[in-house]
Amino acid sequence: MMAIPKNIHAGHRNRLRTRFLENGLESFQEHQVLELLLFYAIPRKDTNAISHVLLQRFGSMPKALQASREELKECQISDNAATFLHLMHVACERYYQRKYQKEKPTEHLFSFDTIAKYINQYFHGVRQEQFLLLLPDPKGNCQFSKIIHEGPITDDAGFIRSMVHMAVSHQAAGIILIHHLEENSEPSQEDLNFSYLLKESCQLIGIPLIDYILCNRSTMLSALSPDTEEDEDTV
């Protein structure tokens, strides 16, 4: 009688899982993180190959997780696997929203210091350019937070229209935009000029721009700060 072959991927899966349990994700490449996640949605297929397909299609692990179920299924993965990856992104967003809503007191989103503390963990491990929108209620509690754009803005007017629409639909007491710069990038004059356009647009709709914050792994500053404006004028 012919012996039933063992799952040829079992040893690799166990090694990758053990590596994560012992050392975390610090040394993992993006495709390996996707590969590990897919272990729990795809029991027998080669998830390494699938993870590479996802990265080729979407460009990065965060973008793959942010993709819709329909977009994920275009990469020839099952509805179950697509739902699992999409759920991972949505669950992480909910986690950060609820975690900080519970831990921070009211009126915490009306000053630079409290906003900085609030977003301190939002961009942990992020290296690409992203824009995070925070919409507080009248008491300063964050009622909406979402990464609304990745990469450079190519259409300022379109970006602002979309942001304003979100603020109006949530009846926000103000708008806070966080611009996470690409790794090793520094705030530019173009970033500061964009802050003037944001402020004027918010004034037109009657919703104040509470802050426009520029940050990277080592720096966080308000583009609306008088000190920032003065420094740029002297360049």
Tokens (6 digits) for 14: 């166990």
Amino acid at 146: K
pTM of the model: 0.57
Q: Which pLDDT value is given to residue 226?
A: 66
Residue 188 clears pLDDT 60, i.e. is over it: yes
Please enumerate in sequence order all residues whose Cβ is within 8 A of that of 99, keeping only pairs 6 or more positions apart, or say none.
none
**Confidence class for position 98, pLDDT limits 50, 70, 90:** low
Residue 34 clears pLDDT 70, i.e. is over it: yes
Q: Which pLDDT value is given to residue 1?
A: 36
Tokens (6 digits) for 58: 């979407």
Better-scored residue on pLDDT, 200 or 99: 200
Residue 5 clears pLDDT 50, i.e. is over it: no
Residue 229 clears pLDDT 60, i.e. is over it: no
Looking at residues 3-18, what average pLDDT do you find? 66
The percent of residues in the chain predicted with pLDDT above 70, rounded, is: 85
Give the count of beta carbons closer than 10 Å to the beta carbon of residue 188: 12
Better-scored residue on pLDDT, 201 or 100: 201
What is the rounded average pLDDT for all residues in the chain? 82
Better-scored residue on pLDDT, 51 or 232: 51
